[in-house]
A and B are shown apart, each in its own frame.
Chain A
Amino acid sequence: MTRVFTARRIITMNPALPSGEAVAIRDGRILAVGTLEEVQGWDPEAPVDETFADKVLTPGFIEAHSHVMAGGMWTMPYVGFFDRRDPKGKVWPGCQSLETVIERLIEAEAEMGDDLTDPLVAWGLDPIYFDDERLLAPHLDRVSESRPILIFHASGHLATVNSAMLARHEIDADATTPGVDKDGDGNPTGELQEPPAMRLARSGMAKLGSRLGTEEAMWNYAAESRNAGHTLVTDLGTSQLTEPDQLERWSRVVNDPEYPCRAVVAMSSAFGGPSDPAVWAEFSKELPDHETDKLRFGIVKLMLDGSIQGFTARVSAPHYYRPPEGHPGNGLWLIAPDQFASILETYHRAGLTVHVHCNGDEATEVFLDAMEEVLTAYPRPDHRHTVQHCQLAKPHQYRRMAAMGMCANIFANHIFYWGDQHRDLTMGPERAAGMDACATALRAGVPTSIHSDAPVTPMGHLHTAWCAVNRVTASGEVLGPDERISVEEALAAITIGAAFQLKLDHDIGSIEAGKLADFAVLEEDPLTVDPMTLKDIGVWGTILGGVPFPAAS
């Protein structure tokens, strides 16, 4: 059966036919796009649905780098600085002072049951916006003196707990674990720094961990994506895929007709599972049997370095601008550079697409050198291996990526969330201005996408596109205006650009006859609004395989 949707405008991202006013759909795929008369040529009897007559359709947005645990966080209260909308559509106003954090927690605690052993766990706190005022145990004791509380910071490297949590796990003046912050008298302040110390608050960390990989997390993740106009989620990547039931669970959840997104699940040995790449490569051979139109595999994720804001990314000379006292001078390797080429070779020869986390340019250099070595020995057309984050890559590195057929997925959201810190602390003004260099990437001819890395920053491609287009930091300053890209280029990055690096551009990423009928349904035309308002465009929801999925409100 054929169905026709009309719209105020259909932005196709197909340069050969950039826009239309009607789209005909049959069996979940696009039959035709063009004028109403043109598409009706296929089936004059087809019903015309005018629900979206005043909306703008674009290809469904594709987030090529985020994590399913983003959905798990929403089973706990949010105490971050910026407003955020949860999967059910409720807007959680940002907590812009410690007082509002405490108020939010008091409300959340009041809604919990009588079982005082059940800890209150909240997430998203980012005290870098509080002028160094710290949340400590006495603040949280105002929320409860008897229920243990753990606040998981946005950085992932800190937790703050209350006195009840300290007492429950006997974290006291005698604690010898590095990272248990203590006051002048030697008593714990409630701040636990880095995982070894955070782990001491076991009941809180266990509750957090238990929420991240559940089916509820998977549903929340897709709901939040749909609310933002996304029609595909990526989990980049999971170390659990080889565990019993994991494949079955992904299949069952994603193939459920009610599940509002397609999914690409990347495998990764970074956090567990088999350590030998050859074992993963062998395992990957069975993955195609589990693929459907909604669920795909074929990607392996590796991590070479840490993060820039954590001063753990591998950065080439002159290294970090104003690192904290005692910093060793450069970041951490997560894989030894000497070992990297052989790992890459194993996955490359297995026919997988390799996506490598490289925040620092030195990590990017190691990836590129290994790539050149492996490609010279084992040429392979159209591999599309991708530099993930790619935050400090230099122009010559983008030229090498282009020469070797590689892609870049750039962490554009960093400009807004940490751009001020990068200018003032991590990189200094010159290199901060050249970070997340979307314009340079496109000039060099590198297939490019942009991402949120949710839950590291909030999911939402209109916001991510806004970051790449405007490069405005949290303080309102424009960082590196010459790296700004046009709205059209940003739209391409979040649709066909992302589809290309997931090797799905034959099926999704633009509105063309034969492709899957996946659209974002927008209230305004992103190509005509003031680019500074791009992030504020209302999202009605999505159409996935021809089926409308309204956003939660």
Chain B
Amino acid sequence: MGHHPRRRSLPRGQLIPVTVIGGYLGAGKTTLLNHILASTSERIAVLVNDFGEINIDAALIESATSSTMTLTNGCICCSLVDGLSAAFDAMLELDPAPDRIVIEASGVADPAGVSAFAHGPGLQLDATVVVVDSETIQATIDDAYVGDTVSSQLAAADIIVANKADLADVQLWLTGRYPTTLITPATNAVVAPELLFGHAPTPRAAASHEAADIFESWQITRDRPLPRAVIERYLHSLPDRVVRAKGIVWSSDRPDRQLIVHRVGRRVTVRVGPPWPGEESTSLALIGLLSTP
């Protein structure tokens, strides 16, 4: 309440990527968050949206120079003040600016409601990641109280992490229900940074990374403007094994502005960004699986 944010002007052309982690209680959201913190040297600002103790590894937070804030779910009907909005204001105030914002949504939050904020000024939604407990998800989704909630969470996912894959295999079941979503099995919520962040790992000293050799990446550059429709068609037509694509495009429709493009799984976002800080040019980075699993 009563926020008067001083707008710090963001570096031109730099939108802070936002990763939203959703999933029901006990699925492994916090484990995934700790894994993220351990496996990157990015400066990460963490927002935890839940009740109770937050089991983030404090040592990781400190060495990653991250900040954490907490907030809990609220309905604006009864508050008029939206906790998430205020939290984003505070995140945008951080100096130096974080390289990434990671939000752990509450166990009953709709991640779509959280990720909708990440279209705002200075922000770019990177991916909505929903974690499920492979052992219990099939029962939870039929639960009288929370089945519909969990269903909505999964429907909002760009990436579903089928956690505890060592205990149960629900890959087929998930693929049947969510055929267009990127689904990855995981144990102890270990997910390759290529999938999570759309780029190769920038490992911390102690972090190990074994999965890298299942991905390959491509760079595409052009120094001539392209029609926006062409780019959109191209992004939609990429094969499924391309798990991530992102970049900045020089479009002939809005040549004065950067066109920011983004694909996670099959979701494509195209957005007009800030003016060009220097030379106009198109550059795209693609990450794909070496072979379909």
Query: Most chain-A CB neighbours within 10 Å: which of B54, B108, B269?
Result: B108
Is residue A69 contacting chain B, with contact meaning CB distance below 8 A? yes
Binds A, one of B82-90, B166-174, B199-207: B82-90
A330: chain B residues within 8 A (beta carbon):
148
Tell me the dominant secondary structure on chain A's binding face.
Answer: loop
Tell me whether A271 and B77 are in contact (CB under 8 A): no
- Please report the C-alpha to C-alpha distance between residue A200 and residue B106 in the assembled complex, in whole angstroms: 24
- Please report the C-alpha to C-alpha distance between residue A303 and residue B75 in the assembled complex, in whole angstroms: 9
A170: chain B residues within 8 A (beta carbon):
121
Tell me whether A306 and B54 are in contact (CB under 8 A): no
Tell me whether B85 and A307 are in contact (CB under 8 A): no
Size of B's binding interface in residues, CB under 8 A:
51
A176: chain B residues within 8 A (beta carbon):
119, 269, 271
CB distance from B123 to the nearest CB of A (A): 10
Tell me whether B77 and A334 are in contact (CB under 8 A): no
Is residue B79 contacting chain A, with contact meaning CB distance below 8 A? yes
Contact of B51 among A155, A175, A177, A275 (CB under 8 A): A275
A67: chain B residues within 8 A (beta carbon):
78-80
Given known contacts A270-B72, A276-B52, A456-B78, A335 and B2 CB-to-CB distance under 8 angstroms: no
- Please report the C-alpha to C-alpha distance between residue A227 and residue B25 in the assembled complex, in whole angstroms: 47
Query: Most chain-A CB neighbours within 10 Å: which of B25, B77, B112?
Result: B77
CB distance from B271 to the nearest CB of A (A): 5
Is residue A162 contacting chain B, with contact meaning CB distance below 8 A? no
Is residue B70 contacting chain A, with contact meaning CB distance below 8 A? yes
Given known contacts A269-B51, A275-B70, A213 and B106 CB-to-CB distance under 8 angstroms: no
In A321-351, the 8 Å CB interface with B consists of 328-330, 332-339, 342-343
Tell me whether A202 and B146 are in contact (CB under 8 A): no
Given known contacts A199-B88, A334-B108, A213 and B2 CB-to-CB distance under 8 angstroms: yes
Tell me whether A155 and B77 are in contact (CB under 8 A): yes
Is residue B22 contacting chain A, with contact meaning CB distance below 8 A? no
Tell me whether B119 and A157 are in contact (CB under 8 A): no
Tell me whether B50 and A69 are in contact (CB under 8 A): no
Given known contacts A177-B120, A310-B77, A332-B110, A337 and B152 CB-to-CB distance under 8 angstroms: no
- Please report the C-alpha to C-alpha distance between residue A459 and residue B182 in the assembled complex, in whole angstroms: 50
CB distance from B39 to the nearest CB of A (A): 25
Is residue B48 contacting chain A, with contact meaning CB distance below 8 A? yes
Query: Most chain-B CB neighbours within 10 Å: which of A206, A314, A342, A366?
Result: A206
Is residue A272 contacting chain B, with contact meaning CB distance below 8 A? yes
Tell me whether A202 and B121 are in contact (CB under 8 A): yes
Contact of A303 among B78, B148, B272 (CB under 8 A): B78
Is residue B226 contacting chain A, with contact meaning CB distance below 8 A? no
CB distance from B29 to the nearest CB of A (A): 12
Contact of B77 among A156, A206, A338 (CB under 8 A): A156
- Please report the C-alpha to C-alpha distance between residue A174 and residue B51 in the assembled complex, in whole angstroms: 36
A200: chain B residues within 8 A (beta carbon):
120-121
Tell me whether B48 and A275 are in contact (CB under 8 A): yes
Query: Most chain-A CB neighbours within 10 Å: which of B51, B78, B113?
Result: B78
Is residue B71 contacting chain A, with contact meaning CB distance below 8 A? yes
With A271-B72, A310-B77 known, 10 other A-B pairs at CB within 8 A are: A169-B121, A177-B116, A196-B119, A212-B2, A212-B81, A269-B72, A275-B71, A276-B53, A337-B146, A339-B25
Can you sample 11 A-B contacts with CB below 8 Å?
Answer: A178-B119, A206-B5, A270-B73, A270-B83, A275-B52, A277-B52, A303-B78, A312-B75, A328-B152, A343-B52, A456-B77
A-B residue pairs, 10 tightest by C-beta: A196-B116, A177-B119, A174-B272, A333-B108, A275-B70, A307-B77, A195-B82, A334-B73, A213-B1, A306-B75
Q: Give A contacts to B, CB under 8 Å.
A: 67, 69, 152, 155-157, 169-170, 174-179, 194-197, 199-200, 202, 205-206, 208-210, 212-214, 239-240, 269-272, 274-277, 303, 305-307, 310, 312, 314, 328-330, 332-339, 342-343, 357, 362, 366, 453, 455-456
